[in-house]
Amino acid sequence: MKTLSIETELSKVTADVLVVGVPEHPENVEGWAAFADSFSSRILDWVRAGDIKTGFKEIVKMPSLSEQSYKRVLFVGLGAPKDLTEEKLRQAFAAVGKELLVSKYENVAIWTAPFTTEELTCADVAYAATEGIGLGTYKFEGYRTDSNEKDFSIESLQFISSYDEDELKAAFAVGQAYASAVNEARNLVNMPPNLLTPTKLAEYAEELAAKYDFEIETLGKKEMEELGMGAILAVNKGSVEEPRLIVLKYTATEKWEDVVGLVGKGVTYDTGGYSLKPRESMVGMKGDMGGAAAVLGAMAIIGELRPARNVIAVIGATDNMISGEAFKPDDVITSLSGKTIEVLNTDAEGRLVLADAVTYAKQSGANYLIDVATLTGGVIVALGNDKTGALTNNEAFFEEFMEASLETGEFVWRLPLTENDKKRIRKSDVADLNNSPGRDGHMIFGGGFVGEFVGETPWVHLDIAGTSDASAPHDLGPKGATGVMVRTLATLIERMAEKDSE
């Protein structure tokens, strides 16, 4: 969305399309009579007859009937106002966005009043509209040579509202920052693995750092060898592509303290290694860097909105390949932390990458840790494809995290991590840990393994294997990468910063 303008009266609209919310009993909406006068006095009859629908997210498109300054109206049903929430608004506007994308309407006006309720202000509507439309209009351009469609993007957005202009502008800026960061993360996950190598991912992070003035450090194979990062190096051994450990620092306060560490799994392709994946489950493993994308997306929002909280992002990037050099089951490796690991399964590579990345984040001063990873098929068996699985070692930090996830509407469910689980992760005849204790409840073993490197630092583990990629269109976007957790991570940092300033 390139430009924003604000008008206080419907007669001032200039747009391809005017978006109008239709709650049950629209006649209660302030200004509805004036709108009906200007559009058609029969509009309430159409609502009553069901030609304009009030059901949540139901869309009806209608051309302007006379000389209006907008060419058409897009009516979107909202249901009962008392049931409306910010998340439902976001979904309604994402549905509008999908329609705009299909119809290619570039100049869009939104009349905010019908979307407001006792709880939701015009500024809330402006935020949900910007974010929802931004997410709903997302499309991965891809590499087709026969496509003559020009890239679609919304040229101008106009709010029709008499609310405080500065607040509307701020809501637009925040919505815009959130939506574009999620869409960037989606692009990274949708990119093919021959084009998005660890080196390319690091280059992308460098662009972010330059844009937002982050400190950046990227470690290559040689630096990793010098430091003794035996876990990520083991995963990389079979590859001709060099690994990268990508470190971004956002310094918001004078001292480097109270640092939140965001750690992402950046496996740019996961063949499974010698514990090879069956051919059907290998397809799609280009998305095994979804955790890295979530962390980079969150950093983009942090760079835009600059909350007063120090953040370090650490991404372990490598692919997991096969060759005469590759690591294999039965290998014993030494991680950066010094802990030794017996490899029982080379397909349980994400936890190895994260082990060194988490250790590095701790060594760099992280006082809180969140790791995000497409870690296990187990989380999909346990929770399905619409819930992110979580583990934690700290009730208070987890509660804070959950408040952020409730705000963004990204569903997260916690699983237990018991002493018995830890015992099984620590069971090995030859090393401190093993990387694959079994398939029973193995989401817990995956995350629990990462926990072995966290120690006492408050920590949340997020397994997004089910939620990072959608097999069909969903509420907030199309099939493919979802950009899950970008919004929740950024919201958590914003909330932590706000709490500090209280």
- Which residues are known to be catalytic? 277, 351
CB under 8 Å to 363, separation ≥6 — which residues?
none
Is 371 an interacting residue with respect to ligand BES (CB under 6 A)?
Answer: no
Is 288 an interacting residue with respect to Zn ion (CB under 5 A)?
Answer: yes
Residue 188 Cβ, how far from Zn ion at the closest point, in Å? 16
> Which burial class, exposed, middle or buried, applies to 472 when counting CB atoms under 10 A from its CB (0-12, 13-18, 19+)?
exposed
Q: Which is nearer to ligand BES, 43 or 481 (CB)?
A: 481
> Which burial class, exposed, middle or buried, applies to 495 when counting CB atoms under 10 A from its CB (0-12, 13-18, 19+)?
middle
Of ligand BES, Zn ion, none, which one does residue 244 interact with (CB within 5 to 8 Å by kind)? none
Amino acid at 77: G
Of ligand BES, Zn ion, none, which one does residue 77 interact with (CB within 5 to 8 Å by kind)? none
Is 99 an interacting residue with respect to Zn ion (CB under 5 A)?
Answer: no
Of Zn ion, ligand BES, none, which one does residue 197 interact with (CB within 5 to 8 Å by kind)? none
Sole binder of ligand BES in the list 436, 467, 482, 488 (CB under 6 A)? 436
Of ligand BES, Zn ion, none, which one does residue 436 interact with (CB within 5 to 8 Å by kind)? ligand BES
Residue 269 Cβ, how far from ligand BES at the closest point, in Å? 10
Q: Going by DSSP bridges, is the β-strand pair 107-111/15-23 parallel, antiparallel, or unpaired?
A: parallel
For 14-42, give the secondary structure using H, E and C. Answer: CEEEEEEEEECCHHHCCCHHHHHHHHCCC
Which residues share a beta bridge with 21? Answer: 76
Which of 471, 490, 494 is CA-nearest to residue 481? 471
Residue 320 Cβ, how far from ligand BES at the closest point, in Å? 7
- The DSSP-derived string for 121-161 is -HHHHHHHHHHHHHHHT-------SS--PPPP---EEEEE-
**Residues in contact with Zn ion, shown as a per-residue x/- string from 213 to 252 under the rule CB under 5 A:** ----------------------------------------
Return the DSSP state at 477: B
Q: Which is nearer to ligand BES, 116 or 320 (CB)?
A: 320
Residue 197 Cβ, how far from ligand BES at the closest point, in Å? 17
Residue 349 Cβ, how far from ligand BES at the closest point, in Å? 5
**Half-sphere exposure in the Cβ direction for 472 (13 Å, CA):** 2
**Residues in contact with ligand BES, shown as a per-residue x/- string from 106 to 145 under the rule CB under 6 A:** ----------------------------------------
Restricting to residues 345-364, name those near ligand BES by CB under 6 A.
345, 347-350
Which of 112, 290, 123, 277 is CA-nearest to residue 196? 290
Q: What is the spatial distance between Cα 366 and Cα 369, in angstroms, rounded to a whole number?
A: 7
Of Zn ion, ligand BES, none, which one does residue 428 interact with (CB within 5 to 8 Å by kind)? none
Residue 75 Cβ, how far from Zn ion at the closest point, in Å? 45
**Half-sphere exposure in the Cβ direction for 277 (13 Å, CA):** 18
Of Zn ion, ligand BES, none, which one does residue 376 interact with (CB within 5 to 8 Å by kind)? ligand BES
Residue 400 Cβ, how far from ligand BES at the closest point, in Å? 27
Asked whether 64 and 73 are in contact (CB, 8 A), the reply is yes
Number of residues that bind Zn ion (CB under 5 A): 6
Q: Going by DSSP bridges, is the β-strand pair 215-219/433-434 parallel, antiparallel, or unpaired?
A: unpaired
Sole binder of Zn ion in the list 134, 175, 243, 350 (CB under 5 A)? 350
Is the sign of the CA dihedral 330, 374, 386, 479 positive or negative? negative
Restricting to residues 174-213, name those near ligand BES by CB under 6 A.
none
Q: What are the C-alpha distances in Å from 444 to residues 227, 330, 414, 436, 438?
A: 29, 22, 10, 11, 10
Sole binder of ligand BES in the list 43, 336, 433, 465 (CB under 6 A)? 465
Among the listed ranges 113-121, 310-318, 369-377, 423-431, the one in contact with ligand BES (CB under 6 A) is 369-377
Q: Going by DSSP bridges, is the β-strand pair 332-334/311-320 parallel, antiparallel, or unpaired?
A: unpaired
The label of the residue with tokens 């101008």 reads 156
CB under 8 Å to 36, separation ≥6 — which residues?
43, 44
Restricting to residues 249-268, name those near Zn ion by CB under 5 A.
267
Residue 420 Cβ, how far from ligand BES at the closest point, in Å? 17
Q: Which is nearer to Zn ion, 10 or 267 (CB)?
A: 267
Q: Which is nearer to ligand BES, 463 or 475 (CB)?
A: 463
Q: Which is nearer to ligand BES, 124 or 347 (CB)?
A: 347
The overall longest dimension of the chain from CA atoms, in Å, is 82
Sole binder of Zn ion in the list 270, 410, 469, 494 (CB under 5 A)? 270
Amino acid at 442: H
Residue 423 Cβ, how far from ligand BES at the closest point, in Å? 17
Is 376 an interacting residue with respect to ligand BES (CB under 6 A)?
Answer: yes
**Half-sphere exposure in the Cβ direction for 57 (13 Å, CA):** 16
Of Zn ion, ligand BES, none, which one does residue 130 interact with (CB within 5 to 8 Å by kind)? none
Is 316 an interacting residue with respect to ligand BES (CB under 6 A)?
Answer: no
Restricting to residues 252-311, name those near ligand BES by CB under 6 A.
270, 288
**Which residues contribute to the site for ligand BES (CB under 6 A)?**
270, 288, 345, 347-350, 374-378, 436, 442, 465
